[in-house]
Amino acid sequence: MRRKLVAGNWKMNGSLEALAEVDGIAAAAKGANCDVALALPATLLLSAVERVGGSSVAIGAQDVHPAEKGAHTGCISAVMLKDAGASFTLVGHSERRADQGETDADVRAKAEAARRHGLAVILCVGETLAERDAGRAEAVVTGQLEGSLPEGAAAEWLSIAYEPVWAIGTGRTPTVADVAAMHGAIRAKLRELVGTEAEAMRLLYGGSVTGENAAELLDAGDVDGALVGGASLTAVKFVPIIEAPARLPVS
Ligand code: PEP
């Protein structure tokens, strides 16, 4: 039985003032029937950890550099994230794959660096609309997984987020059947790559998740949680999503 994980991704949003939202999210997370996490901008990590660290919400980063330290202007290492109190990081978000040209090999190196320094990892994969329209969605996603899965991948510290690029921030979502089919394909690929460890690994869906659609998406086959962008920025929008698992039929 995999406990669901609902993670928010604030992207390049949020100020110290906005941390009041984290208080509201942490309060609701105490009674939630799922794990709750927030990937915050680096500028807010330390303050958020001081505010709610060690409570019902895991505080993490959105990216990590593969090296420990050195001449990498503007980058942040896993050691530095740990030092700020982060407990996890995202890697391979499609916005970074597109904007920063991150390859599967880069993503894999980032995940391995995070693991070496004790951070949990949410590894993102997902196809573009052109790839889906060309009937290549499953091949693209399982290919990304194969190329970016870190050495020693284990459910204890690694989750996979399936985020179709065309569903991110657009208000469009795949059908529940399409999500279940892709998550099934991801689980099957994981079985090939990591054997029985695949059964325990959490697979999150991401892309325009809201309080309205969360329950049906979270109830889909092989969906063990959600990665939420826009709707994670305020407690009023995020709390209904973290409350959704409690409303699901017990499986
Ligand atoms: C994301 O960027 O990870 C995401 C899922 O964004 P949104 O929920 O806004 O579509």
pLDDT value of residue 54: 77
pLDDT value of residue 61: 98
Token pair recorded at residue 21: 């939202």
pLDDT value of residue 53: 78
Give the integer Cα–Cα distance in Å for 89 and 124.
11
Please state the atom number of ligand 1 nearest to the C-alpha of residue 209: 8
pLDDT value of residue 39: 98
pLDDT value of residue 15: 96
125 lines ligand 1 (CB under 6 A): no
Domain definitions of the chain by residue range? 5-247
The mean of the pLDDT values for the chain is 97
pLDDT value of residue 251: 61
What lies within 8 Å, CB to CB, of 233 at 6+ separation is 8, 10, 13, 14, 18, 21
What residues of the chain score a pLDDT lower than 70?
251
Q: Specify whether 163 is catalytic.
A: yes
pLDDT value of residue 55: 85
pLDDT value of residue 167: 98
CATH code for residues 5-247 = 3.20.20.70
Q: Are 31 and 8 in contact (CB under 8 A)?
A: no
pLDDT value of residue 193: 98
Tell the residue nearest (CA) to atom 4 of ligand 1. 229
